[in-house]
Amino acid sequence: MSREDVLVTTQWAEENLDTPGVVFAEVDEDTTAYDGGHIRGAVKLDWKTDLQDPVRRDFVDRAGFDALLSEKGIGNDDLVVLYGGNNNWFAAYAYWYFKLYGHDKVKLLDGGRKKWELDGRELSGDEVKREATTYSAKEPDTSIRAFRDEVVDAIGTKNLVDVRSPDEFSGKLLAPAHLPQESAQRAGHIPTALNVPWAKTANEDGTFKTAEELTELYNEAGLDTGKSTIAYCRIGERSSHTWFALHELIGLSDVKNYDGSWTEYGSLVGVPIETGAAK
Amino acid sequence: MSADGCGAPVQTATAADIDTQGQVVLAGTVNGTAGPLGGAYVRLLNGDGDFAGEVQASPQGDFRFYAAPGAWIVRALHRSGNGEASVTAEGPGLHQVAISVA
- For residues B36 and B30, is the Cβ–Cβ distance under 8 A? yes
Q: Tell me, what amino acid is at A170?
A: S
Whether A131 is catalytic: no
Model ipTM?
0.89
Q: Give A210→chain B minimum CA distance, Å.
A: 18
Euclidean distance between CA atoms A4 and A75, whole angstroms: 22
Separation of alpha carbons A134 and A253, rounded Å: 31
Average pLDDT over residues A201-209: 97
Contact between residue A48 and residue A114 where contact means Cβ atoms under 8 Å apart:
no
Has residue A225 got a pLDDT over 90?
yes
Cβ-Cβ contacts under 8 Å, A30 against chain B: 1, 5, 7, 9-10
For residues B4 and A263, is the Cβ–Cβ distance under 8 A? yes
* Residue A114 predicted with pLDDT over 60: yes
pLDDT confidence band for A172 (50 / 70 / 90)? confident
CB pairs under 8 A, 24+ apart, for B32-36? B32/B78, B32/B80, B32/B81, B32/B100, B32/B101, B32/B102, B33/B102, B36/B60, B36/B61
Tell me which chain B residues have a C-beta less than 8 angstroms from the C-beta of A58.
Answer: none
The pTM assigned to this predicted structure is 0.94
Taking CA atoms, A42 is separated from A27, A82, A228, B14, in Å, by 10, 9, 36, 33
User: Per-residue pLDDT averaged across A265-276, rounded?
Assistant: 94
A182 in reach of chain B (CB within 8 A): yes
pLDDT averaged over consecutive 10-residue blocks of chain B (102 residues)? 66 90 94 95 92 94 93 97 96 95 91
